[in-house]
Amino acid sequence: MKNIILFGKPGAGKGTQAEFLKEAFGLVHISTGDVFRFNIKNQTPLGAMAKGYMDKGDLVPDAVTIQMLESEVDKHSNAPGFIFDGFPRTTAQAAALDAFLEKKGMQLAATLALDVDENVLVQRLLERGKGSGRADDQDEEKIRNRFAEYNQKTAPLIDYYKKQGKFHSIDGAGTIESIAMQLSNLVEQL
Ligand code: AMP
């Protein structure tokens, strides 16, 4: 079973590459951002709770996010493996994921990071916001706040996974195809 985390700042290309890896390796893709957006669209209590945080570019609290992730995993009991996209984003989430997988007799194969410069990402996200209608992609201040959240709360996970010998970083500034190729080479070796 190959359980993979796709790691990187907002706009680094995690969602795009997850779609590719999902097809190539038959994995189940869980994007916590997508699950929150689905809940907002369908006006669920979870969506109502998450919306205020997401609109500002703040992280949704750990307890809610962890519980949601676990219930998404539990929906796919026969999955050959998972791609976690946008999760974990804090040390508490990473520790919860390790414990949850262990409890299920599973483990993480690798954390694959897409490394892209912040100024490149701002332009990418503003461009994406024009087409997607995502409010958090349309305002540079919100985008910068998401980077601040990443730098403060998510970046420490790089060391967390390095200590486990599971962290691999690739340059995320190339073409979609060349990055997909590099990622799939890494996944094949796991
Ligand atoms: P994303 O689609 O991954 O860029 O996530 C969009 C927004 O959803 C983030 O800015 C957060 O507000 C929220 N979110 C997604 N994943 C998480 C997570 N693992 N922990 C906390 N908040 C999250």
Name the catalytic one among 9, 37, 146, 153: 146
**Does residue 14 have an active-site annotation?**
yes
Q: Are 20 and 27 in contact (CB under 8 A)?
A: no
Pick the catalytic residue: 14, 37, 142, 153?
14
- Which one of 5, 32, 97, 138 would you pick to mutate in the ligand 1 pocket, going by the greatest count of ligand atoms within 8 A of its CB? 32
Q: Exactly one of 37, 89, 142, 153 is catalytic; which is it?
A: 89
Output the six-digit token pair for 184.
């799939």
How remote is the CA of residue 42 from the centroid of ligand 1, in Å? 17
What is the position in ligand 1's atom list of the atom closest to the CA of 32?
Answer: 16
Identify the CATH number of the domain in which residue 62 sits.
3.40.50.300
Q: What is the mean pLDDT of residues 137-144?
A: 94
Question: Which tens digit of pLDDT belongs to each residue from 69-95?
Answer: 999 999 998 999 999 999 999 999 999
Give the pLDDT score at 133: 85
Answer yes or no: 37 catalytic: no
pLDDT at 1 over 80: no
Q: How far apart are CA 44 and CA 102, in angstroms?
A: 30
Residue 122 amino acid letter: V
Quote the ligand 1 centre to 157 CA distance (angstroms).
Answer: 15
Q: Encoding tokens for residue 143?
A: 């985008």
| Structural domain boundaries enclosing 124 | 4-189
> For residue 53, which atom of ligand 1 is closest to its CA?
12
Residue nearest atom 4 in ligand 1 by C-alpha distance: 10
**pLDDT at residue number 68:** 98
How many Å apart are CA 5 and CA 2, to the nearest integer? 10
Q: Is the CB of 32 under 6 A from ligand 1?
A: yes
d(CA 133, CA 156): 31
**pLDDT of 129 above 90:** yes
Query: How many domains, the chain?
Result: 1
Residue type, 84: F
**14-55: per-residue pLDDT in tens?**
999 999 999 999 999 999 999 999 999 999 999 999 999 999
Query: 179 pLDDT exceeds 80?
Result: yes
The H or E element that residue 156 is part of is helix 156-163
Q: Is 128 a catalytic residue?
A: yes
pTM (two decimals): 0.97
- Known catalytic membership, residue 146: yes
Segments of 56-186 assigned E as strands: 82-85, 110-115, 167-171
